[in-house]
Structure 1
Amino acid sequence: MRRQALLLNAAEVARLLDTEQLLDVLAKGFETITDETAISPPRGEMAIGDAGHLLTMPAAVPGLPFGTKLVTLFPGNAAAGIPTHLGLIILMDSVTGEVLALMDGAHITAMRTAGAATLAAKLLARPDSRAMTILGAGVQGQAHLDLMSRHFDIETIYVGSHGAESAQRLAARDPRAIAIEDHEAAVRASDIVCLCSHAEHPLIHMDWLCPGQHISSVGYAPPCGELDPAIAARHRLVVEARIAFAPAPAGCAELAGIDPAWGTELGEILLGRKPGRESIDEVTVYKAMGHAVEDLVVADMVYRRAIALSAGQSITL
């Protein structure tokens, strides 16, 4: 008899994803990446004409189901009010290979990305950070606004975007937030700078930076991207995994040509093998490329809560 699988829609995933546990779950995942106990082949990519891309992201971690995420990146969706990132996550039994669950991946992608950036900021940003700039007012901008402000005593949040209206909409969600047009002035006034866009060219420049800042970049737009490569090459650089230095789509376009030895994995800091921030004036940089282990550990958390709460719909495939 075939085992039934659990189907979880977007609303159920959002309800079941525990933001209080999110950073701890992600931290354990990053430790398995550094310890090389996780299995995760390089991310695959297929172009769908000129409209967008399909990415495939499989992973396995000891003690958890294994699985894969299918994620689409269609930048043109924004104009139609459709998320630019859409995804499906499939969890499978690590003994039999049977499908355990199929769940919407958009919310998990958004929250694990912002969660990992927040975890990196906790390790790298100054604890007394009070001002933050968010450039990019889409899904990631919203997720960063929520998660970063939970873990720092942020007093002022500058929000900038390619479109003034989208920046104003995001800023309206938080009384501390201000929609801005002068990105340079906002960056210079901030302790934490979050790049959350689909920009194909750098959003900030080296001469905008000030001592002690933390720069976070989660955008993915090869062959270039939102982060100035000179910033990554000059300042303390932290990544999710060493594969970030591989060519896109497995790695980050902005890190092309940088010696992988220059970077530090998040797991190395979490395991005490490398330090976090080393001085008050140090400029730190976190560059995310997205890692399948992040999706897997968060999807497993959602799946376990669904089982415990009898949530979702059982289906026979």
Structure 2
Amino acid sequence: MLILSKEDIRKVFSMKDAVDSVKQAFSIYSEGKSVVPLRVNIDVAKCGGQSLFMPGYVPDLDSVGIKIVSVFPKNVEKGIPSVPAQMILLDGTTGEVCCIMDGTYLTQLRTGAASGAATDVLASPDAKVAAIFGAGGQAICQLEALLAVRKLELVKVFALGDEAKKFVEAAKIQLKEYRVEIVAAESAEEALKDADIITAVTTSRKPVFPGNLVKKGAHVNGVGSYTREMQELDEYIVTKADKVFVDSKDAVIAEAGDFIQPMEKGLIDSNRINGELGEVILGKVKGRENDSEITLFKTVGIAVQDVVTANKIYKKALENGIGKVVEV
């Protein structure tokens, strides 16, 4: 059995690799070539967190896996990740565990890659300015994914308190090879100004930016909301966007407050969703059709992303002799 740390993964797997893997994962999912039950979400109310169990099976890759990921916001106060996780990968031909890898970094990587895939497929090819709402553990991979698929000139980051400024300083160092200007915005309105791409990656229970200020032709990624109580996207952008795409229609309708809350108010129904991103990639559904359309992508995360990405990481690690082999 192979054990892979975050650093092991970084040695063999780039963000571009992750975007390609997630595109494949979404295509597999939308073709019905995977088994992906809705995740089990256990509320750990005593500690203000949740633990999620996400199983999946991809027959064409002979790969089975389950990611155990928790969201404990108070972990930040303890100086440890707020989204700890492990990915357990099984050989689909024997049922044996073949790899355990850092699921926290895998989650950041594949979640960022989902936005990267959607941006690559749906955003204007000429996009130059991006806005990111949120500066937590997921934000750096979200930013890198945008930079991996578009040659951006300016990225504006907005978050509560002084978190944006701290994030910007770290991002300038970590992503210096992209040679992009990264700044902290003083307000949501400032962040939105001229933004061609907008990514929200928070656990907020109220909208983090006014949707009516999103400019024509922009692309929006809604990433953070994964329970019915969370709603980082306002009802204006959800109802008024020209086209809406999701990672999984079933999962978004079951889990995302961004859509559940306006549906419960009768403002939209499931037909508001034009299709899954995998269907756009496969050519079954049309994506952006002109420069003025506002496109919206909502992801809650599905296990096929983890299984496909983990499978690719595992194979690359074996090829390069990376990781620690243990006998159990």
Aligned residues: 309
Residue among 216, 221, 226 paired with 2:221: 216
**Where do 4+ consecutive residues of structure 1 move more than 3 Å?**
none
Residue among 262, 283, 286 paired with 2:272: 262
**Cα pair 2:225 2:258 within 8 Å, conserved:** no
> How far apart are residue 86 of structure 1 and its match?
1.0
In structure 2, distance between residues paired with 1:245 and 1:168: 32
> How far apart are residue 63 of structure 1 and its match?
2.6
Report the equivalent of 1:47: 43
Report the equivalent of 1:170: 167
TM-score in terms of structure 2 length: 0.90
Amino acid at match of 2:75: N
> How far apart are residue 198 of structure 1 and its match?
1.8
> How far apart are residue 146 of structure 1 and its match?
1.6
Report the equivalent of 1:70: 68
Confirm whether residue 203 of structure 1 aligns to residue 200 of structure 2.
no
**Cα pair 2:131 2:157 within 8 Å, conserved:** yes
In structure 2, distance between residues paired with 1:145 and 1:186: 14
Report the equivalent of 1:229: 235
Task: List aligned pairs for 1:22-61, cutoff 5 A.
Answer: 22-51=18-47, 52-61=49-58
Report the equivalent of 2:282: 271
Answer with 73-82 or 30-39: which moved more.
73-82
**Cα pair 2:86 2:104 within 8 Å, conserved:** yes
Q: Which runs of 5+ in 1 are unaligned?
A: none
Q: Which SS does the other structure have where 1:27 is aligned?
A: helix
Residue among 304, 311, 317 paired with 1:306: 317
> How far apart are residue 15 of structure 1 and its match?
2.2
Residue among 166, 187, 190 paired with 1:182: 187
**Cα pair 2:56 2:66 within 8 Å, conserved:** yes
In structure 1, distance between residues paired with 2:95 and 2:149: 38
Amino acid at match of 1:232: V
Report the equivalent of 2:88: 90
Task: List aligned pairs for 1:279-298, cutoff 5 A.
Answer: 279-298=290-309
Q: Which SS does the other structure have where 2:59 is aligned?
A: coil
> How far apart are residue 274 of structure 1 and its match?
1.0
Q: Which runs of 5+ in 2 are unaligned?
A: 173-179
Amino acid at match of 1:245: V
In structure 2, distance between residues paired with 1:37 and 1:283: 30
Q: Which SS does the other structure have where 1:70 is aligned?
A: strand
TM-score in terms of structure 1 length: 0.93
CA 1:50–1:187: 2 relative to 1, 3 Å = farther
**Cα pair 2:26 2:247 within 8 Å, conserved:** yes
**Cα pair 2:211 2:233 within 8 Å, conserved:** no
